[in-house]
Amino acid sequence: MAKKIAQDKAQRIHKLRHRPIREIATAVGVGVGTVDKYRNIEPAVSQSNKKHGEFNWREWSPWIAQGQDLKRKASWSQEELTITLGDGKSPVLLYPVL
């Protein structure tokens, strides 16, 4: 069974295929027989079909606003406070809360 070599070595052998076999073998670090076997074989080329997503914030804006409205609706936080200071007939002492 034949031993396979690394893809980068096969690519280097193919690129240098017009040089003498011994020179290629020395440059790549493989035997002369390996160079003879691989120099006329096109190396495999890999192609990626990875999906590239796109993002447009304007498309998401209504959805985000709806989520904010729902959060506001379900919130238990206090929105306003009314303070009555005394009965209006006697003075009231005010001081800052630290």
Which pLDDT belongs to residue 70? Answer: 92
Predicted TM-score (pTM) of the model is 0.42
Per-residue pLDDT of the chain (98 residues; tens, 9 = 90+): 456 788 888 888 888 988 999 999 999 999 998 888 888 887 777 778 888 888 898 999 999 999 999 988 888 877 788 888 888 888 888 888 77
By the 8 A CB rule, do 39 and 21 touch?
yes
Give the span between the Cα atoms of 71 and 65, in whole angstroms.
10
Q: What DSSP state is assigned to residue 89?
A: S
Classify residue 21 by burial, with Cβ atoms within 10 Å: 0-12, 13-18, 19+. Answer: middle
Contacts of 85 (CB under 8 A, 6+ apart): 92, 94
Side chain identity at residue 16, one-letter code: L
